[in-house]
Structure formats: C-alpha cells, structure tokens
Amino acid sequence: MKKQLQKLLEENKGNITEAVINEALDYDIPKDFFTDLLQNGCQSWMVWSLIYYIDTHKFYDKHYEEIEDIRYELQEQWIVTTNIQSDIKNYYAWLSFEHIAYEIYNQFENKDF
C-alpha cells in the first residue's frame, strides 16, 4: 500500500489528499492509520497536524476551496448539517480530512494491503 500511496502522493500536491497521505505514511502499516481514523476520527488526536485550533484553522484557510467543495457535496447528500455547534473551521478541517481519508481507503478497499 505504501507504494500505491507514494504514487498517489506524486499526483496530489498541495491538496487535502497530500495531507492525508503524508499522515498515513508516518504509520508502519498505513492501513492501520485509515482504519483507526475512520473508526475514531480526528477528534481522537491521532492526526498530529490537526490537534490544535491554530493548526486546524491554518488547514481550513489553506484548503478553503476544496473544503467548500466537500461541504457542498456532503450537504447535497444530507451527510452534513449546517447547524454546527462548535468551531466551524475546526469542524470542517476535520470533516474534510476524514472524508478524503475515506475516499482514499475506498480506492484500496478491494486490493491487498
């Protein structure tokens, strides 16, 4: 899976996919990263680059347009609500990171890790 992630990383510079892959590649077994993240979410503090508000706000600002695309897509599918009771930048930074991780994991779901 690491080789496949490296290839995907080369195709994705400066976007959320790059951030997710970089975090996954820090794990000895990237599949464990994805399964842990998809089970526990960013609020588990397993994504070191998105623990503090200052970091989630920078992430949100950097990836604003991509996050808005994800937000709109998920809102259209009734997966996400607009009634957010917490820090909006933090919420959408985590949501977009988890969503992209889910998409990457699904790409490899039927392949041998």
Say what the pTM is: 0.88
The answer to whether 92 touches 71, Cβ cutoff 8 Å, is yes
Segment 6-18 mean pLDDT: 94
| pLDDT tens per residue across span 22-40 | 999 999 999 999 999 999 9
Element containing residue 3 per DSSP (H, E) = helix 2-11
